[in-house]
């Protein structure tokens, strides 16, 4: 960790640097490929929970009944494996059946009672309509639109419109990847998943704004010099916050991973799985987009300004002049050292000290 901390110090001081902005085409290509896969997944459709499609929830209470036994019975009744079976914290077994199976509740209870050898009166049935999930989706979409409008206005006022555009693109990038992964892998989308989707937007925006703030400080008055371009200054700001962004992401991912793999995976808490999985994917995508998408895109937009184009031209001219001077310097040194090859006993004039050479034959001024 000390080496990592030392790397952070060297990145902040500019002793080492990763060229994220200069390699923006590479990041754009990677993001484009991931987003394309996500779009294909979305075109295939999301696996919506019964809160969105409607269905029935059966709760069975029987000592010793396992999830696998209940899953086998539900599969026999529905003739497929779409039923979601979970164990509740009270020891009961909850079976969720989609309305697409079109099995009457009385029939399902009767067959379940016979197969599991449980009295029918110990099976609780609850019908869930699709209107609740539909209402939640509409409100979430409305909240998402309002959130993005407010974010755009805030960034345009606090920073500038180019930062607002870059941050908005990064937000949409993170959202598409997260939802696309759900669609491709076939994870069930529940109201908890929607909450997770909305939560990652705030984190992604926070990480992006931190980087933008450093870039803003690094590029203040940049047109008054000709040592580096705007993209190079933006890349320096990105490197200064790189370790901080990585540390923040790791610290945020640790509790989410605990919820996902221990709470959801080992303990079987389904709701924790829904939220933590969305957070885990979204946090990872958000850290990537703030470094490899938002800042390179913002620098690219800034480079389109006439004053930044003029700055890039001055920097290129300065570097060309320095390169030319550096290329000529070794030739002069070689010419200076050429007298070393003269035969012994012969001393060239250029081997004499400059002060002596110039003062020879001139009045010393000391009389």
Domain positions in the chain? 16-47+133-314, 55-128
| Angstrom distance (rounded) from CA 71 to CA 76 | 9
- Ranking 136-145, 236-245, 249-258, 345-354 by mean pLDDT, the lowest is 345-354
Among residues 119, 66, 137, 121, the alpha carbon closest in space to that of 95 is found at 66
Report if pTM > 0.85. no
Note the pLDDT tens digit of each residue in 125-135. Answer: 887 776 766 77
Over the stretch 23-71, which tens digit does the pLDDT of each residue have? 999 999 999 999 999 888 888 888 777 777 778 888 888 888 888 888 8
Whether residue 238 contacts residue 295, with contact meaning beta carbons closer than 8 Å, is answered with yes
Reply yes or no on whether the pLDDT at 298 is more than 90: yes
Question: Looking at the domain 16-47+133-314, which fold is it?
Answer: Multidrug efflux transporter AcrB transmembrane fold (1.20.1640)
- Widest Cα–Cα separation across the chain: 129
> Is residue 14 packed enough to be buried (19+ CB in 10 Å), middle (13-18) or exposed (0-12)?
exposed
**pLDDT at residue 32, as a whole number:** 92
How many C-beta neighbours within 10 Å does residue 51 have? 23
Give the neighbor-by-neighbor strand order of the sheet with 55-60.
Answer: 84-87, 93-98, 55-60, 123-128
Do 121 and 132 contact (CB within 8 A), yes or no? no
pLDDT in tens, 127-162: 777 676 677 777 778 888 888 888 888 888 888 899
Nearest Cα to 209, choosing from 295, 145, 144, 284? 295
* pLDDT over 90, % of the chain: 15
Determine the Cα angle at 160 with ends 142 and 139, to 5°.
5
Beta carbons of 108 and 97 less than 8 angstroms apart: yes
Average pLDDT over residues 343-354: 43
For residue 296, pLDDT over 90 is answered with yes
Torsion of CA 279, 280, 285, 291, to 10 degrees: 100
SS3 at position 3: helix
Query: Which residues fall within 8 angstroms of residue 95, CB to CB, at 6 or more apart?
Result: 57, 58, 59, 60, 70, 74, 83, 84, 85, 112
Cα–Cα distance, 215 to 155 (Å, whole number): 14
For the chain, strand residue ranges (E) read 47-48, 55-60, 84-87, 93-98, 123-128, 188-189
Phi-psi label, residue 289: left if phi above 0, alpha if psi -120 to 50, beta otherwise: alpha
Surface-to-core class of residue 96, CB atoms within 10 Å of its CB (0-12 exposed, 13-18 middle, 19+ buried): buried
pLDDT above 60 for 357: no
């Amino acid at each position: 960790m000390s080496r990592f901390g030392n790397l952070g110090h060297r990145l902040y001081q500019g002793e080492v640097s990763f060229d994220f902005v200069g390699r923006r085409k590479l990041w754009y290509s990677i993001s484009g490929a991931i987003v394309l896969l996500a779009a294909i997944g979305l075109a295939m459709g999301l696996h919506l929970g019964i809160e969105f499609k409607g269905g029935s929830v059966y709760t069975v209470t029987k000592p010793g009944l396992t999830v696998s036994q209940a899953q086998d019975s539900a599969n026999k009744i529905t003739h497929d494996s779409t039923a979601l079976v979970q164990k509740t914290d009270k020891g009961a077994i909850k079976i969720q059946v989609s309305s697409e199976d079109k099995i009457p509740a009385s029939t399902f209870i009767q067959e379940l009672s016979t197969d599991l050898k449980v009295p029918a009166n110990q099976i609780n049935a609850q019908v869930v309509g699709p209107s609740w999930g539909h209402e939640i989706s509409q409100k979430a979409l409305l909240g998402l639109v309002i959130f993005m409008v407010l974010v755009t206005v805030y960034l345009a006022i606090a920073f500038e419109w180019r930062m607002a555009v870059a941050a908005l693109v990064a937000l949409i990038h993170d959202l598409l990847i997260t939802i696309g992964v759900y669609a491709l892998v076939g994870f069930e989308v529940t109201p908890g998943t929607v909450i997770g989707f909305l939560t990652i937007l705030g984190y992604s925006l926070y990480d992006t704004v931190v980087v933008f703030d450093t870039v803003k400080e690094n590029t203040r008055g940049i047109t008054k010099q000709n040592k580096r371009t705007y993209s190079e200054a933006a890349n320096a700001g990105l490197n200064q916050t790189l370790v901080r962004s990585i540390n923040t992401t790791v610290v945020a991912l640790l509790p989410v991973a605990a919820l996902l793999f221990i709470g959801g995976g080992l303990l079987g808490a389904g709701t924790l799985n829904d939220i933590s999985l969305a957070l885990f994917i979204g946090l990872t995508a958000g850290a990537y987009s703030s470094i490899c998408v938002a800042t390179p895109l913002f620098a690219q937009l800034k480079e389109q300004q006439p004053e930044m184009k003029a700055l890039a031209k001055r920097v290129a001219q300065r570097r060309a002049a320095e390169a030319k001077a550096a290329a000529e310097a070794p030739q002069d040194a070689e010419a200076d050292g050429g007298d070393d090859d003269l035969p012994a006993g012969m001393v060239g004039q250029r081997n004499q000290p400059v002060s002596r050479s110039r003062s020879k034959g001139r009045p010393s001024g000391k009389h």
